[in-house]
Amino acid sequence: MRGPYGIQKIQIGEAGSPSELLWVTGYQAVMVGADGEEPASQEFMCHSNLDIDMERHRDLFKWKKQVSTRLFTLSQGQFDIEFAAGFGLPIFSDEVFSLNT
């Protein structure tokens, strides 16, 4: 599949702020126009992937296991996902994500 795509680096916390433990409990993709504000039809979304620098994440949490860098994938017709109540993914506010749309 081919079409317009973009890759953005994003961080939840503000640069320079102290790092804090956060819990990701879901992920949502909303289509917008070229201005980044105007709503666009959701049927234009093909895929939306959220990846993390897993090597750094493993170091921060002292993990030994090998896991995928991909945290979430949404595709046409599925615009959000939410973990069951009480579940989430631990991250630090200064971790950098790669948003592929």
pLDDT of 34 strictly over 90: no
* Radius of gyration for the chain, computed over Cα atoms and rounded to the nearest angstrom: 15
In whole angstroms, give the CA distance from residue 84 to residue 13.
24
In this structure, what are the phi and psi dihedrals at residue 61, rounded to the nearest 5 degrees? -100, 5
User: What is the average per-residue pLDDT within 51-57?
Assistant: 94
In whole angstroms, give the CA distance from residue 13 to residue 94.
6
Q: Residues of 30-53 as b/e, b for ≥16 C-beta within 10 angstroms?
A: eeeeeeeeeeeeeeebeebbbbbe
Tokens of 90: 């631990």
pLDDT of 47 strictly over 80: yes
Domain boundary assignment for the chain? 7-100
